[in-house]
Amino acid sequence: MQLASRRVYTGRVVRLDVDTVRFPDGSTGELEIIRHPGAAAIVPCLSDPRTSDDPTILLIRQFRYAAGGPLWEVPAGTLDPGEEPEACARRELLEEAGVTAERLERLTSIFTTPGFTDEVIHLYLATGLTTGAPSRERDEFIEVVPQPLSRVLARIRDGEIRDAKSIVAILYMSRFVLRT
């Protein structure tokens, strides 16, 4: 239970608070927590995963400063104030991958790192894709690379895909959406 909160930093995306909390055993302490508005991530499939033996996924290879270079990811982005997760998913899909989706299906929602942030990412599957025009932000350096799911799963297994939201979204889709 939160007893008090002190804002330490406010940035473009995150805020850092130091909260005084009461723990389950009745003791109290201070915890640092990064407040995040939430995000949406999308697995864009060029072919319907329910009818294709090996659907093609649009992965992006994006430069990530914190990771020290490029990462394989699914398109994703932060919710704007008051924005619904599905609207964010559609916006980010166009901005980063340059496609729109006829169908967007919610997969699940995940906490990214609940030890120090309240960030929740809402995961979606996008099908019925139509090419549009990407409109990337100034700090986004992205290459869109279509790949068959079998190759993407091998990249996860081999440690080439290390982005947690992407791994969860792809594995969730491959286990719970694909035809069996």
Contact between 58 and 72 under an 8 Å Cβ cutoff? The reply is no
Those residues with Cβ within 8 angstroms of residue 159's Cβ, 6 or more apart along the chain or in another chain: none
Strand 39-44 relative to strand 120-131: parallel, antiparallel, unpaired?
parallel
Q: If DSSP codes are grouped into helix, strand and coil, which group holds residue 170?
A: helix
Contact between 165 and 112 under an 8 Å Cβ cutoff? The reply is yes
Catalytic residue positions, numbered: 140
